[in-house]
Structure 1
């Protein structure tokens, strides 16, 4: 079995008060996008969990990868003995604020639950996802979402048009903990309007990490300005960075912008589009 796991962007990210558990309360949007990693699953392999990774280089050993961790957590929770070979093809940059690892973890949980006959009910699967990371529950059923709590209290936002995007990932690494140490929490969030038209989304593009990180990493501010200068209708840092996305009204404008940005050497250019749904499993398959 082979699945694709999408990336995400955040069109709103507000950082609220610090919680007793060390996390911050948040208000944010999750929007899945058509930038994918691939994971292949082979059951009946030698006992244990074997993971190989191709594509983008990752800083962690395979055993520390979220795919391996998700598989190990699934088998431990189900009381099953694993005999699994996994192959991960990475296209989503890591340390980018695009949720690549979280999507890998959620896709692994969904696929293994399907392959083993759904031993975990939806609520149990969601609980396991939450243990693996704050973004992982969103990726169990990727669609535009409003989120609160640490990002795990999800409310459907509704379908969005497939707006073209250009993501720029510079050669900048930002530790999430360090980013939160720089951000200034706000007293209350500004909730985006219920409308999902382009004007409404653009009017509420807002990420509290920008004023915290742009002075420390001026290249990020330069990328945002460059995207707007080449025709993006709006641009924003995704998550705690370091990827910055530009939102365009049509693919031709996006592709022209990419051609103009390419000689500037700002970073990796990743054209993609907004998704309103992503299915991990074949049509008609049971999907806890």
Structure 2
């Protein structure tokens, strides 16, 4: 890592959408194997790390007041893991400015953990390679390694085994945040109940149509192949999510999918102009409290001046 010489480092990290999220049956280790296609989009959190005696975090932005500031915060946990792994006798004050929705299914906490790994590695002038940070990220959560690399990537296992994918073209997204979050464990429990009842069939197979469409830059093909196995369980818990998705489909989008375990609904459209019109349309739905526009794919965690 390069020497900054400034006593502070700022890192920007993107949110993610799952273009595909295929979920296997509950395994003996208590986890569900997944097959997913991660896609980084232009909603960002910024972390500035400054030299300090201890590892602490300050949080600003929408929803920041709901987040922990102790070891339960993934950014703090990431910095502590890095310090322990490299035997560092130093701390960091991390100031986080959040614009990624909190508890929105867009991996904001995981993004902050990835940014903390990179920022503190630079701040402490550690001799780390990308694979070193990836291995630490894998210990922190399923979405953390992808936040380091960004772009578009296929994830398997718990989502930490990544292969960057060929992805041509630019993708315009409108993101509708429904009121009140959904806990990921709650949605997975509902997935298991629906599996036991024969209402869905677990599978980690990513649609071939999606892979081919990404490789050729067929944006409409990507929209038609979006899939999320957690969508039906989430809608069964929160029927208004299905209503929001239908509200966007009525506008004539290329594709609509729940992001992760929700409650953010992601809509793929042809252009920035259409995105602006759709954003206005979605704001009329009573279950929607905020609408954002974004493009993808974008790079993962990066230092910024």
Is TM (by shorter chain) over 0.5? yes
Question: C-alpha deviations, 1:33-55, integer Å up to 9, x for none?
Answer: 00011111112x3x101211111
Q: 2: distance between equivalents of 1:188 and 1:113?
A: 34
* Corresponding position: 1:62 with 2:69: yes
* Corresponding position: 1:157 with 2:175: no
Stretch of structure 1 that moved more, 18-27 or 272-281: 272-281
Instruction: State the SS of the aligned residue for 2:303.
Output: coil
- 1:216 is matched with 237
Contact 1:236–1:244 (8 Å) recurs in 2 = yes
| Structure 2 CA distance for partners of 1:181 and 1:20, relative to 1, 3 Å | same
- 2:5 is matched with none
Contact 1:231–1:253 (8 Å) recurs in 2 = no
Q: 2: distance between equivalents of 1:256 and 1:230?
A: 9
- 2:86 is matched with 78
Structure 2, gaps ≥5 residues long: 1-8, 196-200
Question: C-alpha deviations, 1:117-168, integer Å up to 9, x for none?
Answer: 3333333321211111011111111110011101111111123422211101
Instruction: State the SS of the aligned residue for 1:13.
Output: strand
What is the number of equivalent residue pairs in this alignment? 281
Structure 1, gaps ≥5 residues long: 284-288
Question: C-alpha deviations, 1:183-215, integer Å up to 9, x for none?
Answer: 135145243333312133123111111221212
For residues 1-288 of structure 1, what are the structure 2 equivalents within 5 Å?
1-43=9-51, 45=52, 47-58=53-64, 59-63=66-70, 64-183=72-191, 184=195, 186-192=202-208, 193-196=211-214, 197-265=218-286, 266-278=288-300, 280-281=302-303
Post-superposition offset of 1:245: 0.5
**Cα-Cα RMSD:** 1.8
Contact 1:5–1:37 (8 Å) recurs in 2 = yes
Instruction: State the SS of the aligned residue for 1:264.
Output: coil
Contact 1:144–1:160 (8 Å) recurs in 2 = no
Contact 2:39–2:153 (8 Å) recurs in 1 = yes
Instruction: State the SS of the aligned residue for 1:17.
Output: coil
Give the TM-score normalised by the residue count of structure 2. Answer: 0.87
Contact 2:17–2:40 (8 Å) recurs in 1 = yes
Give the TM-score normalised by the residue count of structure 1. Answer: 0.91
Instruction: State the SS of the aligned residue for 1:28.
Output: strand
Instruction: State the SS of the aligned residue for 1:259.
Output: helix
Question: C-alpha deviations, 1:235-273, integer Å up to 9, x for none?
Answer: 100111111111110011110111222233322101111
Stretch of structure 1 that moved more, 27-36 or 58-67: 58-67
Q: 1: distance between equivalents of 2:300 and 2:206?
A: 28
Post-superposition offset of 1:18: 1.8
- 1:286 is matched with none
Question: C-alpha deviations, 1:70-125, integer Å up to 9, x for none?
Answer: 11111111111223111111111121110111111111111222233333333332
Contact 2:20–2:206 (8 Å) recurs in 1 = no
| Structure 2 CA distance for partners of 1:76 and 1:214, relative to 1, 3 Å | same
Q: 2: distance between equivalents of 1:233 and 1:194?
A: 16
